[in-house]
Amino acid sequence: MKGFAMLSINNVGWIEKESPVAGPYDAIVRPLAISPCTSDIHTVFEGAIGDRHDMILGHEAVGEIVEIGSEVKDFKVGDRVIVPAITPDWRSLEAQAGFHQHSNGMLAGWKFSNFKDGVFAEYFHVNDADMNLAFLPKEISLSSAVMITDMMTTGFHGAELAEIQMGSSVVVIGIGPVGLMAVTGAKLRGAGRIIGVGSRTACVEAAKFYGATDIVNYKDGDIVKQIMALTNGHGVDRVIMAGGGTETLGQAVAMVRPGGVIANINYHGSGEYLQIPRVEWGCGMAHKTIKGGLCPGGRLRMEMLRDLVLYNRVDLSRLVTHEFKGIENVEKALLLMKDKPKDLIKAVVIV
Ligand code: NDP
Ligand code: ZN
């Protein structure tokens, strides 16, 4: 089969590989829609997780099952499924401890395009199909459905990690597709004021659509000063970091109030350290909590998010600004995610 791969750091291209086969609990899926992620850009062009040779890229897909293992109970060949970006080993101590994202090792629940071939191929392998696939109903379009697999679960995890309360004031640093879903998640959890930080027009418009009450452009100067000015010097209750570089942690610490929570969902692809400013952190005594996490995956998570879409609580169509037809266009879509033109939020390829 053909797959679009990371050949080495900074190099991508089409390669031929043996088609995967299903073990007793697994499934082989043919993608119906795929989407490149900014994380693929960190992985390929920053070498953020180290070198990978001839590894098929992609971890966002919905598809159709073409082969099923003998022990899989709930799915059959021909079913249309949502495939989470994170497909953990559910029989692991980390999963039992509540951190399935790190099943059998830090970040090891993230298998596609990290530890094994990803979804930008004619076929791909899904471990533990009963626990890692979710049914895709026909009412949800393919391009919206593929946004559930990573963008929605990640952005919503930002809102969860930040422990948004009813009426919380929130800053979301970065309003790409991940930040937009953090805005959406914050609004659903009852946030009051939501300040989005970004510059590109498509993202700013979408942020207002999803619930941002204010927009701050980081290109207009120090975002801490801008946010302090907007909040009469008080700062905000919660900060979700969904974009920008290593400097954003220090900014988040400075703009969150004592007792506040900072939730990072950004993939810091470069730089050695993230620094915490001593004084703004109350010399260590400000009760400012810092958390960060990989998005949750697995079947239950996908089904719960899917139902938010199915019952019209969340409209994901607004995230997809570029839609291509034919898997051969995945390279174009990936390069769009690298170049980030003003009108881009997210690109999808309908296979
Ligand atoms: P985008 O590149 O589309 O969005 C990044 C956002 O950050 C944009 O709004 C951008 O503004 C803004 N930004 C850039 N520089 C700064 C700055 N200096 N200060 C403040 N804001 C800034 O990325 P995505 O939304 O696709 O992804 C966001 C991050 O989430 C990525 O690092 C991605 O790898 C990661 N990710 C993490 C996952 C997880 O499980 N934790 C899963 C999936 C993705 P502008 O409008 O100018 O572009
Ligand atoms: Zn991703």
| pLDDT tens string 204-236 | 999 999 999 999 999 999 999 999 999 999 999
**CA–centroid distance, residue 330 to ligand 1 (Å):** 20
Average per-residue pLDDT for the chain: 97
The Cα–Cα gap between 281 and 204 comes to 30
What's the distance, CA 224 to chain centroid? 25
Q: What HEC string does the chain produce?
A: CEEEEEEECCEEEEEECCCCCCCCCCEEEEEEEECCCHHHHHHHHCCCCCCCCCEECCCCEEEEEEEECCCCCCCCCCCEEEECCCCCCCCCHHHHCCCHHHCCCCCCCCCECCCECCCCECCEEECCHHHHCEECCCCCCHHHHHHHHHHHHHHHHHHHHCCCCCCCCEEEECCCHHHHHHHHHHHHCCCCCEEEECCCHHHHHHHHHHCCCEEECHHHCCHHHHHHHHCCCCCEEEEEECCCCCHHHHHHHHHEEEEEEEEECCCCCCCCCCCCCCCCCHHHCCCCEEEECCCCCCHHHHHHHHHHHHCCCCCCHHHEEEEEECHHHHHHHHHHHHHCCCCCCEEEEEC
Please give the backbone phi and psi of residue 230, each rounded to the nearest 5 degrees, phi first: -70, -25
Q: Which CATH superfamily is domain 2-152+295-350 in?
A: Medium-chain alcohol dehydrogenases, catalytic domain (3.90.180.10)
Length of the chain measured in residues: 351
| pLDDT higher than 90, residue 270 | no
Given pLDDT bands bounded at 50, 70 and 90, which one contains residue 269?
A: confident
Q: Which of 102, 153, 266 to mutate to test the pocket of ligand 1 (most atoms within 8 A of CB)?
A: 266
Q: Is 179 in the pocket of ligand 1 (CB under 6 A)?
A: yes
User: Ligand 1: distance of its center to the CA of 266 in Å?
Assistant: 6
Ligand positioned closest to the Cα atom of 42: 1
With 90 as the cut, is the pLDDT of residue 50 above it? no
Q: Which residues contact 311 (CB under 8 A, 6 or more apart)?
A: none
**Alpha-carbon torsion, ordered 98, 104, 109, 110, to 10 deg:** 150
Ligand 1 and 197: CB distance under 6 A: yes
Residue 253 tokens read as 């610490």
Query: What pLDDT does 48 receive?
Result: 86
- Give me the pLDDT at residue 170, please: 98
Tell me, what's the pLDDT at 263? 98
Q: Among residues 163, 176, 156, 158, which one has the least CA distance to residue 306? A: 156
Neighbours of ion ligand 2 (CB under 5 A): 37, 39, 150
pLDDT (tens digit, 9 = 90+) per residue, 169-201?
Answer: 999 999 999 999 999 999 999 999 999 999 999
Tokens of 110: 């993230």
Q: pLDDT by residue (tens digit) across 98-114?
A: 999 999 999 999 999 99
Q: Among the bound ligands, name the one nearest to the CA of residue 267.
A: 1
Domain ranges, ordered by start, for the chain: 2-152+295-350, 155-292
Per the listing, tokens 């101590």 go with 93
Q: What's phi and psi for 261, nearest 5 deg?
A: -125, 135
- Residue 156 is encoded by which pair of tokens? 């919503």
Nearest ligand 1 atom, CA 345 = 3
For ligand 1, pick from 267, 268, 339 the residue to mutate: most ligand atoms within 8 Å of CB. 267
Query: Which pLDDT belongs to residue 211?
Result: 98
Q: Does ligand 1 come within 6 angstroms of the Cβ of 294?
A: yes
Distance 159 CA to ligand 1 centre (A): 15
Distance 116 CA to ligand 1 centre (A): 24
CB-based burial, 66-97: b 16+ in 10 Å, e otherwise: ebbbeebeebeeebbbbbbbbbbbbebebbee
Atom 12 (ligand 1): residue with closest C-alpha? 174
The answer to whether domain 155-292 has CATH 3.40.50.720 is yes
The confidence band for 254, taking pLDDT boundaries of 50, 70 and 90, is very high
Same CATH fold assignment for domains 2-152+295-350 and 155-292 = no
- Give the Å distance between the CA of 214 and the centre of ligand 2: 26
What is the position in ligand 1's atom list of the atom closest to the CA of 295? 40
Q: Which atom of ligand 1 is nearest to the CA of 294?
A: 40
Q: What is the pLDDT of residues 122-163, one digit of tens each?
A: 999 999 999 999 999 999 999 999 999 999 999 999 999 999
The 10s digit of each residue's pLDDT in 52-72 is 999 999 999 999 999 999 999
What is the per-residue pLDDT for 49? Answer: 86
- For the whole prediction, is pTM greater than 0.95? yes
